[in-house]
Amino acid sequence: MRIIGNMKSTNLVDQIFSAARKLDRPWAWRRLIDLRDFTGFIEFEDIEHLAKRWQFLTRDVIHKGRTAIVSKSALDLARVSTITPLFPDEIFRGFESFDEAVDWLEASNL
């Protein structure tokens, strides 16, 4: 998912969750969130809300997901470690490079 321009944090989270809901077994997909051209700010409260919605969606599923977040913002990349505990069955990693993010997602080992 690529986010371009400015968007309210609540709308961004809704868009991410909406995209996930369109997939069959969204927890089984490896995800890439590209924020390189995003100019807004993501409120932590909205990430917490997304985490609760995701936990409800995956409540009966055993999985270990992978999400790469690509950003030019040092703040976005630093926040990756703070959101990880909100998603106990997910592995998050931040990248400045799109290619490195794709390589990590395509790697067979977690």
What is the pLDDT tens value at each position of the chain, 110 positions in all?
788 888 898 998 888 888 888 888 888 888 999 999 998 888 999 999 999 998 988 888 888 889 999 999 998 899 999 998 999 889 999 999 999 999 999 996 65
Sorted by where each starts, the structural domains of the chain and their CATH numbers stand as 2-106 (3.30.750)
Q: What is the pTM of this model?
A: 0.84
Cα-Cα-Cα-Cα dihedral of 51, 90, 81, 110, to 10°?
A: -170
Radius of gyration of the chain (CA): 13
- How big, in percent rounded to 5, are the helix, strand and coil portions of the chain? 45, 25, 30
Q: How far apart are CA 12 and CA 38, in angstroms?
A: 10
What burial class does residue 27 get, using C-beta atoms within 10 Å of its C-beta: 0-12 exposed, 13-18 middle, 19+ buried? middle
